[in-house]
Amino acid sequence: MILEMAGVTKSYSTPGGAEARVLRGIDLRIAAGESVAITGPSGCGKSTLLNIIGTLDSPSSGRVVLDGRETSMLAEPELSRVRSQVVGFVFQFHHLLPQCSILENALVPALVGPDPAAAETRARALLGRVGLADRLDHRPGQLSGGECQRAAVVRALVNRPKLLLADEPTGSLDREGAESLAALLLELNREEGTALVLVTHSPGLASRAARTLELRDGVFAK
């Protein structure tokens, strides 16, 4: 299992003093290499869940075991080491650095890695794989939204994460761009053996994952 969550809850205190219970007891097991889509209405806690999986946020209670390590028991800097070794992130907006080339952007996570030369070889190969071979020296502003999102996918994969977390990665693209990005994520999931958790509003895109889960009222609908 790349991920095991048991009884995970997350609450926020609201300005009025009441507790907003966003996640109310999430149990989730994801096998190595698996693909899972998570759907649910806006505000239901999808990003909160993904951020807890990726150790960007911590649960209020419950257990999270990521690649064999109980992250709910870890603190920084150990946590950021696990995060950078195990997880890749893709968000709704690409967050590429505008002054850097596409190749430089793809290499950002590898700056802290052990082998910069190997990372560059991998980044070049992946950028070729996603159709950006002739865009390596371009800046993000010279690329389409879909191309930037593909570069962000390469950046997320450059350190060979075991788990790719994609939070509405097609949300800023038109229908055609969304279709092709989702297809790419699922192809890379199979080719690279990287487990994929894909948050999406689109039932059509979700149905392409091996498993679909619907988040409703803080738990997965049965």
Would you tell me which residues interact with ligand ADP (CB under 6 A)?
12, 20, 22, 40, 42-48
Q: How far is CA 115 from CA 68, 97, 110, in A?
A: 24, 22, 8
* Least Cβ distance, residue 50 to ligand ADP (angstroms): 8
* Least Cβ distance, residue 31 to ligand ADP (angstroms): 24
The partner in contact with residue 154, picked from ligand ADP, Mg ion, none with C-beta cut-offs of 5 to 8 angstroms by kind, is none
The partner in contact with residue 54, picked from ligand ADP, Mg ion, none with C-beta cut-offs of 5 to 8 angstroms by kind, is none
Q: Closer to ligand ADP by CB, 43 or 114: give it.
A: 43
* Least Cβ distance, residue 70 to ligand ADP (angstroms): 23
Q: Closer to Mg ion by CB, 95 or 138: give it.
A: 95
Residues that bind Mg ion (CB under 5 A): 46-47
Strands of 3-13's sheet in order across: 19-30, 3-13, 61-66, 69-70
At residue 107, φ and ψ (nearest 5 deg) are: -90, -5
Q: Closer to Mg ion by CB, 106 or 215: give it.
A: 215
At residue 129, φ and ψ (nearest 5 deg) are: -60, -35
Strands of 219-220's sheet in order across: 87-90, 163-167, 195-199, 35-39, 211-216, 219-220
Residues 6+ apart with CB under 8 A from 215: 38, 39, 40, 44, 45, 46, 49, 221
Distance CA 208, CA 139 (A): 32
* Least Cβ distance, residue 151 to Mg ion (angstroms): 22
Q: Closer to ligand ADP by CB, 140 or 169: give it.
A: 169
Q: Closer to Mg ion by CB, 85 or 93: give it.
A: 93
Distance CA 220, CA 222 (A): 6
Q: Closer to ligand ADP by CB, 35 or 48: give it.
A: 48
The partner in contact with residue 22, picked from ligand ADP, Mg ion, none with C-beta cut-offs of 5 to 8 angstroms by kind, is ligand ADP
* Least Cβ distance, residue 46 to Mg ion (angstroms): 5
The partner in contact with residue 149, picked from Mg ion, ligand ADP, none with C-beta cut-offs of 5 to 8 angstroms by kind, is none
* Least Cβ distance, residue 41 to ligand ADP (angstroms): 7
The partner in contact with residue 43, picked from Mg ion, ligand ADP, none with C-beta cut-offs of 5 to 8 angstroms by kind, is ligand ADP
Helices (H), 2-132: 46-53, 78-86, 102-107, 116-129
Q: Which residues pair with 19 in a beta bridge?
A: 13
